[in-house]
Amino acid sequence: MKMLLNPTSEFHPLMATTTTSLYVEIDRNKLIPFSFSSLSACPCRPVVLPSKSTIFSRPISKFGQLGLFLDGPKAKGSFWFSRKGVSAHRRFATAVAQAQPDRLDDDNAEQEVDKDQTTSMSENTASEHQQKASQLKKRIVFGLGIGISVGGVVLAGGWIFTVALAAAVFVGAREYFELVRSRGITAGMTPPPRYVSRVCSVISALMPILTLYFGHIDVSVTSAAFVVAMALLLQRGSPRFAQLSSTMFGLFYCGYLPCFWVKLRCGLAAPALNTDYLITLCLKGIGASWPILLGGPTHWTVGLVATLISIGSIIAADTFAFMGGKTFGRTPLISVSPKKTWEGTIIGLVGCIATSVLLSRIFCWPKSLLSAIAFGFLNFVGSVFGDLTESMIKRDAGVKDSGSLIPGHGGLLDRVDSYLFTGALAYSFVKIFLPLYGV
């Protein structure tokens, strides 16, 4: 390798003007970079040059001399100039001796940083795995507890079922109005006053009780909507349509829709079809020995059987959709819920219909296979749109969960969103669709 060093007055301020050229040919050398400021280091320090290092110097004028330092297998050429009378060799060697430890320190620092980053990433990964395992354990434990409790309440029926539903409605309504008042939604609208939100939560909780007592809810809902609208219009300041619309939707979403579960469970008191066959063969004597205080064999009404099939189908739809989406999910379903996929939705539909047909064979209701398939399809549609509706509300609110009431599950609305629309569809199916076909 040849390097041409042709110093001029423009090359460096320290260099004198000269026309002398210097050719240096070096093979298999590696240059250690240095700065000119390092040349002023204290010459008193001992100099230890790296192995295979070479310093070339040559007088090029009466003012001073030019030098070249190289080290290692590759020569890339760095040069220096010193005035006459100054020990350039010593200063340059000192600068090089100081540059080498600096570079080693930088390399060691980079290695330490990489090591720390790798260790930190490993610790974060282990922590995430532990957190996911703990969350899954909580979901399973609390899910089983909720399932057993809900099963007992559904079997009890009557006022026990209604009061438990009213308590759940009150909590869900509070969560809804807190979402409406969150920063994400209030950035584009004016939320209703807090006292109106609390009154609406109480009204929503009373709706299921009034439904059981009167047998219908139409007049009560209309009266409640009128009172809330007047309260909003007469408030201080300027009333907003966004306040009225969000409040009315809250009454409908959290109060009116759950009332159909009361009408389905408690309003359809006719005995289930083939009740005797159900008791003797399907339940293997459990129905026959059902306590008289809890209704005896006649306790197995159309409303109870339809409620159990509907709840079982919704649970199956959520479970199959989750497992199918995790395993085969590739195509996003909708933007408001990015984790849902078409593959998971189709698998959830199949699982929901299969569960509906299976439970219809166990409870011997409905008798027609086509009716069981249609009932499962309606349950799936209601569960999906209920879930997507709540996802839209949470997305606008900018939150992941509606609350933190249930460990591992989030808020109550996160658990019951699939049931809100399903009750109305199931009741309409049993009350209107089945009689049209003589079932």
- The band of 13, judged by pLDDT with boundaries at 50, 70 and 90, is very low
Kindly report, residue by residue over 229-254, the tens digit of the pLDDT.
888 888 877 788 888 889 999 999 99
- The band of 417, judged by pLDDT with boundaries at 50, 70 and 90, is very high
Cβ-contact 402, 410 below 8 angstroms: yes
Distance (Å, whole) CA 140 – CA 135: 9
- The closest alpha carbon to 153, from 285, 265, 260, 237, belongs to 265
Kindly report, residue by residue over 70-107, the tens digit of the pLDDT.
554 444 455 454 554 444 444 444 444 444 454 445 55
Q: What is the rounded average pLDDT of the residues 394-403?
A: 85
Taking the domains of the chain in order of start, what are their residue ranges? Answer: 154-267, 269-438
Cβ-contact 97, 51 below 8 angstroms: no
Quick one: 313 exposed, middle or buried, by C-beta within 10 A (0-12, 13-18, 19+)? buried
Kindly report, residue by residue over 204-224, the tens digit of the pLDDT.
999 999 999 888 888 878 888
Query: What amino acid occupies position 25?
Result: E
Most confident among 31-40, 45-54, 158-167 (mean pLDDT): 158-167
pLDDT at residue 209, as a whole number: 94
Tokens representing 110 are 């980079």
When mean pLDDT is compared across 23-37, 50-64, 356-370, the lowest value belongs to 23-37
Kindly report, residue by residue over 319-346, the tens digit of the pLDDT.
999 999 999 999 999 988 888 999 999 9
Round the average pLDDT of the chain to a whole number and report it: 75
